[in-house]
Structure 1
């Protein structure tokens, strides 16, 4: 496994693979890798000749007062995990390497970036789109793998690729969960033991909606209310939103069938998100 720290190094590594006619996959991450990230690596390994993983805690997607400085970082552990998975190249740039001091141009996510997470975290998706666009430019992957846990991010990246004509196929991969249903997330490390137990309320809210939908409930507002009630019954959780949305437009769903249930809440001081597809008609 080769490690690149500069733009020139990662470009050269990819260029060599291209010269050999190899298919390249990219798995963008912010590090603090867990089984969810590694599932993306395995999906990429199954579909590409060369797998590149980026590890970069991107400052532009964090807002004022968010956890940029505190975000978990353990580069040596991450590198060992990726080597064990047979990753070919790891890109670990510094902030200075990725952003010039006078950088001004960013990528606007449009209306998709203004709702839900975008409303709660203004500017977040502008930072996401900008760094993903830069990574696509540097690595020029044939395939890029993103987890469905960050569902709105996945929808926005797919829209960006379509609208800006990036020659890359974006592949969404299923959420990986703990045995009790909690979606794996690097931020789970912030949770105390009591908060960790309470954090399963997001999954329980989604399962409540799924159970109602499978039982024939077709009222969108009824399912949303059931999710809200589930989260609000947990003393350690503070609900941000619980909704059913169209999986392509992220607008509030008009039908339960095929909708995506999304939920965000703060458990203690840790903000968590989760989602689940509702059954199709």
Structure 2
């Protein structure tokens, strides 16, 4: 088996998180609010659950489904361990938040999470993806070409929602569902956006990131490019935030199975009311 490339520097991610000055995180708050809405639709009892994410102490210990409260063990992501040391085949529910976007081997990670779940167990995951920070990426690309004549890796690559369901299937999950929540955030200047990314511990985590500080000329060119492409009439700039949500079940005989090809008893023409 080939070893997946290490796109992300795990130690740098840990350093970025430790440098934060406070625990405020509007992205986490958005995701937790969405998680509450999504879980409330499940009429299920989950007796054993874990929730994984950065700053585990800030995550809820009690989740709620339509059937009532669910006690969850909190597990810290980006703790320095490659994977949570938990017994296999015992969890009914695993929720992982804002972690997968910086995992080097996502299919392998999902497969290991699957092994922690019992049959008919549910995995729910939310991570930053899609076109998130596309404006910042394009601005730095333009600035790099203008200032140095080449491009550098300054914004992490993002997974697309169209690929997310395939990742679940590859990891062995049944009934996979993937969708995306899109948010538009506005800032006074591109520098305000960069400052918030740093405050969130989301500075460049790439292994192949530039090792030198960005020059004033580069930052000025990036700021100008950003404002020219993505500023509103009042001068504030837009930033895209997309949260991809995944849900998949460990296979179980009680789950609904797709019909075999050719087993339909009603033709498409009859269903649509067509005439012969």
Q: Which TM-score tier does this pair reach, normalised by the shorter chain?
A: 0.3 to 0.5
TM superposition score normalised by structure 1: 0.33
TM superposition score normalised by structure 2: 0.34
Between 1 and 2, higher relative CO (CA 8 Å, sep ≥ 6) is seen in 2
Q: Which has the higher helix share?
A: 1
Q: Which has the higher strand share?
A: 2
